[in-house]
Amino acid sequence: MSRYKLYFFNGRGRAEVSRLIFAIAGQKYEDIRYEGSEWPSYKAEMPLRQMPVLEFEGTKLPQSLSIARFLAKQFNLAGRDNFEQAKVDAVADTISDLLGKFIPPRFEKDKTKKQELMKKFFDEKVPKHLQNLDVLGKLYGNDGPFFVDNHLTWADLLFYDILETLLGIDENCLNNYPWLKQNRAEVEKQPRIAEYLKSRPKTPH
């Protein structure tokens, strides 16, 4: 029986950063994916009636960032001491701020309103948050390509994942941020990540 089971829908979404952590760590796990039509049958089994959920040695843990932070600590991707972990968390929380601004336009049902919200998001919110991330990367990265102390952490994986979604909508959104582009390129070049990206299921988001 696997020590790790990850439950989510059949897409990247909020589970993908954990899958990337498993990939870079070379850790086997059960990647349990539910189709939307199946979810009502399993919802009651999840602690907060939502996913992703990580089951570790028989106990279920909800909340995507809590799962990612736990896994990052398990596999030495969270920072090498308390202050380094705080810097990694500062980057991750800044990425989370960006994601929070993306939720309203992404899930707006009205097509016209969605277009307006998405345009405002990319024109106003994205540059502000990318600038913040650029500042942190240059402040903490020690002149390297990764966000904190010139080695890969889960914050780099989280950024890679979130920007994959944003670049799918606006392929030019990173054009003014060469450091951030280089960061994503370095993540993509990691052999285990490259292998995972080639082999993972192809999903729209």
Q: Tens of pLDDT along 8-65?
A: 999 999 999 999 999 999 999 999 999 999 999 999 999 999 999 999 999 999 999 9
Q: What is the pLDDT of residues 81-120, one digit of tens each?
A: 999 999 999 999 999 999 999 999 999 999 999 999 999 9
Domains and CATH numbers, the chain: 4-76+193-199 (3.40.30.10), 82-190 (1.20.1050.10)
pLDDT, position 204 = 81
Report whether 2 contacts 30 (CB < 8 A). Answer: yes
Measured torsion, CA atoms of residues 43, 38, 53, 165, in degrees rounded to the nearest 10 = -130
Average per-residue pLDDT for the chain: 97
Placement of tokens 């994986």 in the chain: 157
Q: What is the torsional sign of CA 76, 29, 68, 167?
A: positive
Report the run of H or E that residue 6 belongs to, with start and end.
Answer: strand 4-9
pLDDT, position 2 = 76
